[in-house]
Chains A and B, each alone.
Chain A
Amino acid sequence: MAFNPRNRGPLRTLAALFVIVFGLYGFLGAVSTWGDAQRAPKLGLDLEGGTQLILQPKLVGNQTINEGQITKAVDIIRQRVNGSGISEAEVTTQGGSNIVVSLPGSPDKTTIASLQKSSQLRFRAVLVEGSAAPTPVPTSTSTPTGTPTSTATATAAATGKATATGKATAKATGTATPTAKSGYPPALAAATTPAPTGTATPGTAATANPTTAPAGKPQNASDPAWITPDVQAAYTALNCANPKDIEAIVDDPAKPMVTCSVDGRAKYILGPAEVLGSEVSNATSGQQQTQSGSTGIWEVRLDFNAAGTKAFGDVTSRLVVLPPPRNQFAIVLDNLVISAPVTQAALTAGNASITGSFTAASSKVLADQIKFGALPMSFTLQTREDISPTLGGDQLRRGLLAGLIGLILVVVYSLFQYRALGLVTVSSLVIAASLTYATVTLFGWSYGFRLTMAGVTGLIVSIGITADSFIIYFERVRDEVRDGRALRAAVESGWGRARRTILISDGVNFLAAIVLYVLAASNVRGFAFTLMLTTIIDIVVVMLFTHPLLSILANTKFFGEGHKWSGLDPERLGARTVTYAGRGRVTIAARRAAAEGNQS
């Protein structure tokens, strides 16, 4: 049969399809063997088990929320989720303002509460700064135990501790001309946050301890009297590399706090909060501007509101005269220090600029973090859904069972209706199913598409719609046979007509799926996505498989001459005109004559 020159075109098309199918599976096999892809589609939460939380931002008054803030919020929530040690959590936005957190397993109450709480940005004075590891028991000698991670040279300060000089500094931008810029060592170029790192200060602890003894009421937020033995013990024990320690950090604005820098390289004892995030009116990043133009130095500019201006002015006026590290103030976001610049001047003008060795990206990150913190956004828990894995697995198994039953019924029905042509339907459905499996798995791998129950339903529903394309096609071919065409001609002209119908009806279906996908919420999306996918696959299969296959079959004796069981028997289809089977044979015409003879 393959030698029949008429089959050359269809065979070529079929070959193309098999190249596609084998290519897909080959790719899938390759990425699952050498890459990190799974061999089976990724399952959604409702099938795999887990918890889904939908958080809605709680806005106060006439606050509005823009996309950038939501994106930032997603980042922050992702950070919080990962910080709490849950792996494979997914954080996505929904409908522009809601945030969907999908967690495997069941999170405890504190995790959920920590996700909901508002982001807290506070400015605190630095009392003690040290390297991230738990400090060994302080000895009276002031040996630095940490190694500076920056390349800056450590200079011994008067208190006998090593301090990296690669600090970020804050200074006034009220006057456009920056002063004392020459003292910036470009030490922190690589760090995303300009927090000073690599200072080792067990000695500070040692020197700090005696000052706590006199106790008394601390005079101001920078007073070392805040460092009580409890605080000191907490500081000593704190290990910034341990997520549990990080989680345990408490941020009470009225009390001193012990915390880590966000990159986990430094830890601090900080005084009580002095400037609140809500007092920051804006934070931007950009290149430093002087009268002579851009200096090429990246900075983060802060603007304060009235209350913030006053508070910040007070803090900087006090800090600027203090010895390091107490001349730094820490910007604390969600319990962690995102930046701890050194105060270079008393800043009373209501704005400030943080410079250091920022890059364009790192200054933007810091500005975004501050800006996000300035919007105290907490979240209401809109829905919480726990799905036990047994129930989800059960659902999947039974859903697949339903699909299998549906498929068998469709096969039986089409064999009944179309006899041997039904086999073409079955093989087309098999090809469609294998294409769907491969693409769903690949989408799971590359775009994190997860098959949910709604998606499975979409797949099952698509069996009917895919099979309908074949029905349209076969019915058109039958119509042509009824008109008296030879089968081969009927297949071609029937295809021409059926193709139009299939394309427009699938087009409408696809449109519905796209509109649903773009506008609908998460679980609707899974459904819309599978519908979209199967509509495309339907067209591919009809074009590249069913039609070429039928063209080839039309050249066989069984179909071409309209065997009784082929489903295309012209006699049974009531072809009433003279039909030539080709090559001068008029078999059907004879039959017709016989039939007519009986009739009249």
Chain B
Amino acid sequence: MSSFAHFGNDLYTGKRSFDIVGRQKTWYAVSLVLLVLACIGLFGRGLNVGLEFKGGSEFRVSSVTNLDNFESRGKTAVGTLDTGSDVVVTKIGADTVRIQTEKFENTLTDKVKSALASEFKVGENKITASTIGASWGASISQKAITALIWFLILVSLVLAAYFRTWKMSLAALIALAHDLVITVGIYALAGFEVTPASVIGFLTILGYSLYDTVVVFDKVRENTLLAAGSGRLSFSQAANQAVNQTLVRSINTSVVALLPVGSILFIGFFLLGPGTLLDLSLALFVGIAVGTYSSIFIATPVLADLREREPAMQQQKKHAERYQAGQARQAASAPDASGPDVQDGPDIQDRATVTAGTGTSATGRPLHPSVQTGPRNQPKRPPKSKR
């Protein structure tokens, strides 16, 4: 605990800093491998689509007391009706048997229900029957794709307006596509069943992935604006600092988001069996994990790469390099300096000598004079909007 808070402090001040933006090639390579794997899964193995996309009938027999040979018993029960259909019998949770068949007509459905009821010795009200046309799942995914396109257009506009650069939109969307492909790829590779509920899950990942990226980008925006003002850091360095400073937040957030989803997953897996809950939580669990990864390791490096190409950013980089070289020389000439601190802002010893004027914090943000001179005498009420 204590070490985690210190870890946060060190990340914030830059005492400890992971070079995330600088090593973008490593992350790109990692992601590329993941994406290739995902594509192999998608196009090689293909998705294991659920009944909703293929069409068919599904029966669930709950509260079964005697589960011996449930598989063959289920098959015989349906087989007695001479349907000639493939029957897949699976056990779900502790006491539920699921039987999937071809699409049956209504009358046949009722017959199968009663056959199953007598076979497993449960009341017919314990049996859930659903018949799904193949077009049902198709229309769901059709709508999902329409929703996706609209969402992407709207969100790019909102982000471009908010951050005042389309490059952030683009970087966020790249991270988004990355998350989506990897999540769907993991589904394909692991052979998880894709149901309409997992499609909902995939759509939610869009929201979450962007949410996470936006939080990081907001800090990136703040830091890079300051860096552009002071000229002490290049864009990449400022962005890297932002990622490091939000790292603790990112870790905390993903843990907090994953805990409830994980508990649904756990309950769903061990107690409920396949269903809306499990499908959704599985998609979300994978998506949130990948989304956190991409907001740190993909979105920000991509943004830095995009922005560094701008002439203004090149110039800023040169300026920053000159400044940092000067700082390094100064540090080398002062033997008791606390080490080669490449972060901007003077280190402690420097600051101790700066007694007048505006100081800068560890992050280079100008501090209010009150920090140096004590509190103001007249507490000013903040404007209404800030209360």
Q: Do A and B bind each other?
A: yes
Residue numbers of A with Cβ under 8 A of B are: 6, 9-10, 13, 46, 54, 56, 95, 98, 106, 109, 112-113, 380-391, 394-395, 398-399, 401-403, 405-407, 409-410, 413-414, 416-417, 452-454, 456-457, 460-461, 463-465, 467-468, 471-472, 475, 478-479, 482-486, 489, 492, 495-497, 500-501, 504-509, 511-513, 515-516, 518-521, 523-524, 527, 531, 548, 551, 572-574, 576-580, 582-584, 596, 600
B257 x A468 contact (CB < 8 A) = yes
Question: Which stretch in B17-25, B154-162, B224-232 binds the other chain?
Answer: B154-162
CB pair B264 A460 closer than 8 Å: yes
User: Which residues of chain A have C-beta atoms less than 8 A from B4's C-beta?
Assistant: 417
Is there contact, CB below 8 Å, between B276 and A578? Answer: no
Q: Do residues A386 and B155 form an inter-chain contact, with CB atoms below 8 A?
A: no
Contact, CB under 8 Å: B214 / A383: no
Kindly list the 8 A-B residue pairs having the minimum CB-CB distance in the complex, ordered from nearest.
Answer: A406-B260, A512-B207, A464-B257, A574-B9, A402-B267, A385-B130, A519-B147, A409-B259
B236 interface residue, CB < 8 Å from A? no
Q: Is the CB of B256 within 8 A of A460?
A: no
> Known contacts being A10-B387, A406-B264, A479-B245, is A574 close to B13, with CB within 8 Å?
yes
B133 cross-chain contacts in A, Cβ below 8 A: 56, 380-383
**Known: A483-B365, A509-B211. Contact between A468 and B200, CB under 8 A?**
no
Select the residue from A390, A515, A518 with max chain B CB neighbours within 10 A: A515
Which residues on the A side are within 8 Å of B10 (C-beta)?
574
Residue of A nearest to B2 (CB): A572
Most buried by B among A395, A464, A576: A464
Q: Which residue of B lies closest to A399 (CB)?
A: B277
Closest chain A CB from B242 CB (angstroms): 11
Contact with A along B253-275 (1 / 0, CB 8 A): 10111111111101110011001
Q: Which of A95, A463, A531, A578 contacts B143 (CB 8 A)?
A: A95
* Interface residue? B280 (CB, 8 A): yes
> Are A413 and B256 neighbours in the complex by a CB distance under 8 Å?
yes
Given the interface pairs A457-B276, A508-B210, A576-B348, the reply to whether A467 lies near B203 with Cβ below 8 Å is no
A390 pairs with B260, CB closer than 8 A: no
Whether B130 lies near A576 (C-beta < 8 A) is no
Q: How many Å lie between the Cα of A489 and that of B263 in the bound state?
A: 38
Total residues of chain B contacting the partner, CB 8 A: 106
**Contact residues in A for B363 (Cβ distance below 8 Å):** 483
Pairwise interchain contact B13-A576, C-beta atoms closer than 8 A: yes
- CA of A463 to CA of B257, assembled, Å: 7
Which residue from chain A places its CB closest to the CB of B386 in the assembled complex? A496
Q: Does A520 lie within 8 Å of B144, measured CB to CB? A: yes
**Is the CB–CB distance between B62 and A390 below 8 Å?**
yes
Q: In the docked arrangement, what's the CA distance between A496 and B387, Å? A: 9
Alpha-carbon distance between A388 and B126 when the two chains are bound, in angstroms: 6
Chain A proximity of B386: nearest CB distance (Å): 6
The minimal Cβ–Cβ distance linking B125 to chain A, given in whole angstroms, is 5
Partner of B259, one of A406, A483, A486, A578: A406
Give the segment of B184-192, B324-332, B366-374 that binds chain A. B366-374
**Which residue on chain B has the smallest CB distance to residue A482?**
B12
Contact B155 A531 (CB under 8 A): no
Residues of A within 8 A of B1 (CB): 416-417
Q: What residues make up the interface of B, taking CB atoms closer than 8 Å to A?
A: 1-2, 4-6, 8-10, 12-13, 60, 62-63, 96, 106-107, 109-110, 125-133, 135-136, 139-140, 143-144, 146-147, 150-151, 154-155, 158-159, 162, 196-197, 199-200, 203-204, 206-208, 210-211, 214-215, 218-219, 222, 245-246, 248-249, 252-253, 255-264, 266-268, 271-272, 275-277, 280-281, 284, 288, 336, 348, 351, 359, 361-363, 365, 367-368, 370-372, 374-375, 379, 381-382, 386-387
**How far is the CB of A266 from the nearest CB of chain B, in Å?**
35
Q: Do A414 and B361 form a contact, CB below 8 Å, given A112-B106, A482-B12, A584-B374?
A: no
**Nearest residue, chain A, Cβ from B214:** A505
Which A residue's beta carbon lies closest to that of B145?
A519
B5 contact from A95, A484, A573, Cβ within 8 A: A573
Complex Cα gap A113–B107 (Å): 11
* A513 B207 Cβ-Cβ under 8 A: yes
Q: Is the CB of B256 within 8 A of A471?
A: yes
Considering only CB atoms, which chain B residue lies closest to A508 in the complex?
B210
Find out whether the CB atom of B196 lies under 8 angstroms from the CB atom of A524.
Answer: yes
Measured CA separation A406–B367 after assembly (Å): 40
Question: How far is B132's CA from A381's CA once the two chains are assembled, in angstroms?
Answer: 9
Bound complex: CA of A505 vs CA of B150, how far in Å? Answer: 18
**Closest A-chain residue to B151, C-beta based?**
A515
Q: How far is the CA of A524 from the CA of B283 in the complex (A)?
A: 14
**Whole-angstrom CA separation of A92 from B162 in the bound complex:** 38
Contact A464-B258, Cβ < 8 Å, known A384-B130, A511-B155, A524-B200:
yes
Give the interface SS of chain B, mostly helix, strand, loop or mixed.
helix
Q: B130 to A383, Cβ gap below 8 A?
A: yes
Cβ of A472 and Cβ of B379 under 8 Å apart? no
A484 close to B361 (CB less than 8 A)? yes
Q: A516-B203, A573-B8 are in contact. List 12 more A-B contacts (CB 8 A).
A: A13-B387, A385-B130, A394-B272, A402-B266, A402-B277, A460-B260, A475-B252, A485-B371, A509-B208, A520-B200, A524-B143, A574-B13
Nearest A residue (CB) for B96 = A391
Q: Given A402-B266, A403-B260, A523 and B276 touching (CB < 8 A)? A: yes
Shortest Cβ distance from residue B271 to the other chain A in the assembled complex, whole angstroms: 5
Asked whether A478 and B8 contact (CB < 8 A) given A387-B128, A413-B259, the answer is: yes
B-side contacts of A486, CB under 8 Å: 375
B367 touches A484 (CB 8 A): yes
Is there contact, CB below 8 Å, between A388 and B125?
Answer: yes
Please give, as numbers and ranges, the residues of chain A lying within 8 Å of B255 by CB-CB distance.
413
Residues of B within 8 A of A402 (CB): 260, 263-264, 266-268, 277
User: Once the chains bind, are A504 and B206 in contact (CB under 8 Å)?
Assistant: no
Partner of A381, one of B106, B159, B199: B106
| Closest CB in chain A relative to B354 CB, distance in Å | 11
Chain A residues with CB under 8 Å of B13's CB are 482, 574, 576
Contact A500 B207 (CB under 8 A): no
> Is A386's CB under 8 angstroms from B211's CB?
no
- Chain B residues whose C-beta falls within 8 Å of the C-beta of A414 in the assembled complex: 256
Q: Which of B211, B245, B277 is the one whose CB lies under 8 Å from A395?
A: B277
Select A521's contact among B143, B222, B371, B387, beta carbons within 8 Å.
B143
CA distance A471 to B254 in the complex (A): 11
